[in-house]
Chain A
């Protein structure tokens, strides 16, 4: 998933690149080392912080450009708790960082499929709903979630939908079908697909009439054949930077998230976004408390604060992602509420589904199919 924050991930990457294969080993070492250091810096272990009053601090691990301008200061004014925010750029990075144990984070923001995966792996703490009365502000659709039944581990922060970002002047009408990207040479050499295997393959399966969830190996075979055939027409499998390539004019149609396209629309009038008529895939980024969080009380207070209507409004104004918070949405200006990129029309949305984490075997199947497509 992408939100204009390649710089951080990139510096990690370039380090790996510079050190070559051996660095894979090193980065693992430094992850462990980093954990220890951070724990030492925080001066406590989860065990010692379990009972009694908590110091007025909070470690928040978030995506870049994904919080309101004054949200953290406002929280400090309201509660005296100082938030220390650090940034991650992909769910994988978040997962990898917490895999070896929580290095001291109190609140994290994984996407829905990772909520399931982390909950299954025992990496998340159960939320105490009595400490989050602002849950009532959530829209009815978001009170419960299939990926986290009963909202045991997660509170929704934003939601996102994949669609087609396009350059209006270079495309005929509104390209409201995945066909133009997956199964047609009409826009040869101007198409950008995602290199992210699971999302790309499931979207193509959706185009072929399958559901996003429960894609069968036979469908994956079909998708593989279709995308191998389509490959000569594709300009790039983008690495989370589809919106930049679209804005720069390298490609004219791209699979991207609505929020990413909404952000570049501020820079160009020639950019459009559509959720194709075949339907698409939804995501939801959620607030969670990782197991071993040093300050669970502060974490609950923070989540409750974020779900407040006025606070949610301030966040949505900055980040331009759709909010699941009904109280916040009513406070937003008309221009946001009626923005069809942020909130695509209901008939298109009706055919969209949430992705689901369906186990490691599925992940491997998608990954291998994508490797075969790229290597073909």
Chain B
């Protein structure tokens, strides 16, 4: 192997250099600038001086912002959990479907990606709002039932009260689950599809019930998929701000909303950078944790 790529050094360089340069120019350097900003302060309205101050990070640690960090993490965790319990059966169903049906199901999972996130969020608003699809349908059913009740001589029920489905934390979580679900289903499907089915058959043949097989065979084998699904669902959920902006109520302030404001209205890029990087540090820790857990589960698997 080693010899092989030594011989093909030129070819390897030709393939590897452009993406590496691309990453350096458009990822590492801009991110480095933002990182430097997080140790700076506004000198004038348009100039940022990199003074090496830790004041921005000290401000991040104020209880006000820590509470918002925690709340965002909680919302993201709940989203991830819901995605997992909804996504797992879906992934299992896709895995065991006929090849033709499998194609169709996978297509349906991926189809929403073809539409812009904003459009999908507005569509969700149209469905959930007070005068929206859900409330109108419920009202129609309510009227029908009321009509029947009056018809058979019962007292008329009270007027229909529309459900408050929008502008609350529940709506934010629903919106996030809706958006993130494919990110959970696809890695789960990938892990389940790779699984050696003879192990399931063996488990069933040797007397384990379906539940036992599920918990002792399928779940452990799917663990790498579960962990990567959890990670790629959790991270974007923590960083989501559009959903909280549009579907959230007065209390739904996520950390990403604060970051957005620092870069725009508040014109405080240094503090915004410190907040972004704090989020990034947390993300790194989460990924490291995932890698550690995945390794442990792999070792246990052997």
Chain A contacts to B: CB under 8 angstroms: 7, 10-11, 13-14, 16-18, 20-22, 24-26, 28-30, 90, 92-93, 95-96, 99-100, 117, 120-121, 123, 189, 193, 195-198, 231, 234-237, 239, 241, 248-250, 360, 363-364, 367-368, 371-372, 374-375
Question: In the bound complex, what is the Cα–Cα distance between A162 and B281 (angstroms)?
Answer: 41
| CB <8 Å contact, B236 and A363 | no
A17 to B180, CA, bound (A): 12
Do B45 and A121 have beta carbons less than 8 Å apart? Answer: yes
Asked if A360 meets B27 with Cβ closer than 8 Å, knowing A24-B263, A234-B250, A372-B64, the reply is no
Q: Which of these, B33, B68, B164, B245, contacts A375 with CB under 8 Å?
A: B68
Q: Are A20 and B236 in contact (CB under 8 A)?
A: yes
Complex CA–CA separation, A276 to B276 (angstroms): 40
Nearest chain A CB to B32 CB, angstrom units? 8
- In the bound complex, residues from chain B placing their C-beta under 8 Å from that of A26 are 26-27, 30-31
Q: Is the beta-carbon distance between B29 and A29 smaller than 8 angstroms?
A: yes
List the B residue with the shortest CB-CB distance to A359: B45
> Which residues from chain B sit less than 8 Å from chain A, CB to CB?
26-27, 29-31, 33-34, 42, 44-46, 64-65, 67-68, 71, 116-118, 129-131, 164, 166-167, 235-236, 239-243, 245-246, 248-251, 253, 256, 258-261, 263-268, 272-273, 276, 279-280, 283
Please give, as numbers and ranges, the residues of chain B lying within 8 Å of A7 by CB-CB distance.
Answer: 118
In the bound complex, what is the Cα–Cα distance between A187 and B94 (angstroms)?
49
Given contacts A99-B46, A117-B45, A374-B251, contact A17 B166 (CB under 8 A): no
Return the chain B residue nearest A13 by Cβ: B242
Contacts A17-B241, A374-B250; A360 near B34 (Cβ below 8 A):
no
By a CB distance below 8 angstroms, the chain A residues around B243 are 17
19 A-B interface contacts by CB (under 8 A):
A10-B118, A17-B242, A17-B243, A18-B236, A24-B259, A25-B34, A26-B27, A92-B267, A117-B45, A234-B249, A235-B167, A249-B129, A250-B167, A360-B42, A363-B266, A367-B268, A375-B64, A375-B67, A375-B71
Residue of chain B at shortest CB distance from A372: B64
Give me 5 other A-B pairs in contact (C-beta within 8 A), A17-B240, A236-B249 excluded: A17-B117, A22-B31, A25-B34, A123-B46, A364-B266
Residues of A within 8 A of B251 (CB): 231, 374-375
**Max count, chain B CB within 10 A of own CB: residue among A121, A123, A195, A231:** A195
**B131 & A248 in contact (Cβ 8 Å cutoff):** yes
Nearest CB on B from A238, distance (A) = 9
Task: For B44, give the chain A residue with the smallest CB separation.
Answer: A121
Bound CA span A241–B247, Å: 12
For A371, what are the chain B residues with a Cβ–Cβ distance below 8 Å?
64-65, 68, 253, 258
Closest 3 CB pairs of A and B: A29-B30, A92-B264, A25-B31
- Our pick among B34, B129, B242, B263 for the contact of A14 (Cβ within 8 Å) is B242
Are A93 and B131 in contact (CB-based, < 8 A)? no
Partner pick for B250 among A10, A20, A92, A237, CB 8 A cutoff? A237
Across the interface, do A90 and B258 meet the contact criterion of CB distance under 8 Å? no
Q: How far is the CA of A92 from the CA of B67 in the complex (A)?
A: 27
Partner of B33, one of A25, A95, A120, A195: A25
* In the complex with contacts A20-B236, A24-B34, A26-B26, A367-B265 CB distance below 8 A: yes
Chain B residues closer than 8 Å to A30, beta-carbon distance: 26
**Contacts known (A17-B242, A18-B236, A196-B265); A25 close to B27, Cβ less than 8 A:** yes
Select B166's contact among A28, A92, A250, beta carbons within 8 Å: A250
- Chain A residues near B29: list those with CB within 8 A: 29
Known: A28-B34, A250-B130, A372-B64. A367 touches B250 (CB 8 A): no
- Contact between A249 and B131 (Cβ–Cβ < 8 Å)? yes
Q: Is the CB of A367 within 8 A of B266?
A: yes
